[in-house]
Structure 1
Amino acid sequence: MDMPINSQDKETLTTLDKIERARQARRNKFYLRDEHITLSHGSGGKATHNLIEGIFAPAFSNPLLDRLDDAAVFTPAPDHESVRMAFTTDTYVVNPLFFPGGDIGRLAVHGTINDLAVAGAQPLYLSAGFVLEEGFPIAHLRRIVESMAAAAREASVAIVTGDTKVVQRGKADGVFINTAGVGVVRSKRTIGQDQLRPGDKILLSGPIGDHGIAIMLARDMLDLECEICSDSAPLHTLVADLLKVAGDGVHSMKDPTRGGVATALNEMAMTSEVAILLDESAIPVRPEVRGACEILGLDPLTIANEGKLLAIVAPEVADRALAAMHAHPQGKDAAIIGTVQATPASMVFLRTEIGGTRVLDMLVGDPLPRIC
């Protein structure tokens, strides 16, 4: 006799089926034809996806990895199913190491916290691994480590383990930092990029492009009489406030880092097999950032951010979610920037300020190497 399937089991089966279909769709869409690694493979855009789908995803495939979310969410043991944990890792190679609004140390802490936060987790503990180049100034290392420590204290997380390696001069460009983080998931509902539904609203916590343009200015690539600072910041308290108000209405969250908002939303649309329509006039961009992008021929939607949140929520909670963001210092300029639609699946469109509509694709190439 067949056993009845409850609603939770049905949701789990549906989710697993969507993950598998999305995985096959990605593998049908992305092809690794390159014979050598290029800087574009680290951009977070199409070349990165080709690399992941062509090399890493097939080799390491498992149910947690196959979701391709920013953090893996799991139960620590079969007899602890009431507790869910999130785990993530990242590596930071930004150039320059110190820039307006932050440095590689603060960036490493904030970025790891944010990957846990968008999984609905309260960050708890971080690791820190350093690859140091022979000849790197001790004063610079002390400044970076002290900055990391301050960022961790401010976010109420602890750096509890780490590692240090030294390589020959010219082999590491100063310092590279690898971090990992664990946290406890607050939400009982699955939050992920495969959870978007037609009708959902897309919320953005504030102006985009600040980090990428700040890095560009710090490299003296553009002579502008303006000060643009990186938006590097931890998002977990903003996420906590959002979840308190919107609860199960929060379907997906992502911090649009490498590849920017355009790449993040394309990943979501593809995995959930939906379409996304954005309203260009609703997307907040600082005038200084917009001006720099126009001069350089860049699209703010493909520029990296390090302290912004994309939240996809059910339409009935959208106004409450937006109000919760506005009440938080990091979300005071938040806006509803678009809507999820059923078709055409796996596509993102932008309704332009002049009334037209164009396809918004992932980042192609690598206009700003070494930004995080």
Structure 2
Amino acid sequence: MNKPYIHKITSKTVTMAHGGGGKAMRDLIEDVFVSRFRNPETGDMEDQARLDPGDLIRAGGRLAFTTDGFVVDPLEFPGGDIGKLAVWGTVNDLAVGGAVPKWLSAAFIIEEGMDIEHLRAIAQSMRDAADRAGVAIVTGDTKVVPRGAADKVFITTAGVGVIAPGVELAASKVQPGDVAIVNGFLGHHGATILQARGDMQLESDIISDCAPLNALMQAAMRAAPNLRCARDATRGGLASALNEIAAASNLIIRLDEQALPLKADIRGFCEILGFDPLYLANEGRLVLFVPPSEAEAALGAMRSVPEGVDSVIIGQAHSGKTPRVEMRTTFGGTRIVDMLVGEQLPRIC
């Protein structure tokens, strides 16, 4: 049960004074953010987080560092919100590199007129998401911009994690014969965002797959010690992630259309609107490559974690003259799966 928070702000919306550097700004920061993110172990209201490097030094590992921005429209959608995206998106960027995520920062660009209670809910969602992923939000910043200069709130996060000695995941390490595995059904986030905007007047029970993937990655790495690489299939979908891996490894990646994990409602959604589900965004899906001898062990480990219960093998890497992604279709033919050109959906994360 969440503890009650003391509300210092009496106004119902954010004003320009909340970004002016004075008492109003201090009240906003303490009310909305510090009360939820406070972590005495990393410093208390200083201009920087003070982190204990003990875990890194004892492990003899390296730091992983990533940053990302989040501008999703709408801010809330079935299965998630901008707060969860900001935390878990950054956690996942660390996790697919083999890192154990540790610390996050969060910067908020807030539009004048933003509802204070709405902002509190986003901050609480971020705290809950951080707790689930086992990370701490340790530092941040707020700026208030005039009406029309943003869309309610934009969030930028950065994350730091620890990579254990011997872990060297990279797309260039994929070898011919390696097996491609995804951890569940594809396309749900992109479809959810479009539906939540109400533009298409479609009714469906599709919800975003928004989820943290660090526990899943650690389970897969333990089961498959020669795991080559992983990518989270966010903007540009699975197709873009696989094209990046094919280019970096100089290999052909062949998919089996019948093996792709697609639910009937996603197939129908894409048929109606003319979308290709391979390009739809995901926020809780990754693709990883392992040697064929470790594929079953990786699958079993991934399926033992809630975020990976629907994991399946979807294809394999092969040598060839021109790196690309191919798919064997249900009709017995083969088609090229190119990198996404342009955008299918704007502002999905």
**Interval of TM-score (by shorter of Structure 1 and Structure 2):** 0.7 to 0.9
TM score, norm. by length of structure 2:
0.82
Whichever residue aligns with residue 179 of structure 1, its letter is: T
Query: Following superposition of structure 1 onto structure 2, how do residues 114-153 of structure 1 map, counting pairs within 5 Å?
Result: 114-153=92-131
- Report how many residues are paired: 295
1:226 equivalent in structure 2: 204
Any idea what SS the aligned residue of 2:222 has? Answer: helix
Q: Which runs of 4+ in 1 moved over 6 A?
A: none
C-alpha displacement of 1:84: 1.2
Q: Which amino acid aligns with 1:340?
A: A
Alignment correspondent of 1:323: 300
Which amino acid in the other structure matches residue 231 of structure 2?
K
Give per-residue Cα distances to partners, 1:226-254, cap 9 Å, x unaligned. Answer: 2111100000001111111111x200001
Distance 1:187 1:102, change over 3 A: farther
CA distance in 2, matches of 1:265, 1:337: 11
Instruction: Please tell me whether residue 212 in structure 1 is matched to residue 207 in structure 2.
Output: no
For residues 298 and 344 of structure 1, do their structure 2 counterparts lie closer, same or farther at Cα, with a shift above 3 Å needed? farther
- Residue 261 of structure 1 and its aligned partner are, at CA, apart by 0.3
Distance 1:191 1:221 in 2: 41
Matches within 5 A, 1:77-226: 82-186=60-164, 188-226=166-204
Q: Which structure 1 segments of 5+ residues have no match? A: 1-74
1:287 aligns with 264
* Residue aligning to 1:49: none
Structure 2 letter corresponding to 1:113? V
The structural deviation recorded for 1:221 is 2.4
Cross-structure match for 2:24: none
Output the CA distance in 2 between the equivalents of 1:351 and 1:266: 16
SS in 2 for 1:90: strand
CA distance in 1, matches of 2:128, 2:59: 34
SS at match of 1:250: coil
Distance 2:94 2:59 in 1: 19
**Displacement of 1:366 after TM fit?**
1.3
Kindly indicate whether the alpha-carbon contact (under 8 Å) linking 2:61 and 2:164 is maintained by their aligned counterparts in 1: no
- In 2, Cα distance between equivalents of 1:101 and 1:81: 36
- Please name the residue that 1:9 is paired with: none
- Among the aligned pairs, what percent are the same residue? 52
| Aligned-partner Cα distance in 2 for 1:105–1:367 | 23
1:152 and 1:311, CA in 2 relative to 1: closer, same or farther beyond 3 A?
A: same
Deviation of residue 81 (structure 1)?
9.7
Give the counterpart letter for 1:116 in structure 2.
L
Alpha-carbon distance between aligned partners in 1 of 2:203 and 2:109, rounded to the nearest angstrom: 35
- Taking structure 1 as the reference length, the TM-score comes to 0.77
Using the alignment, how far apart are the partners of 1:370 and 1:153 within structure 2?
A: 26
> Contact conserved, 2:59 with 2:164, CA < 8 A, in 1?
no
Deviation at 1:127, TM superposition (A): 0.2
Aligned counterpart, 2:330: 353
Q: 1-side partners of 2:136 and 2:167: how far apart?
A: 27
Structure 1 equivalent of residue 310 of structure 2: 333
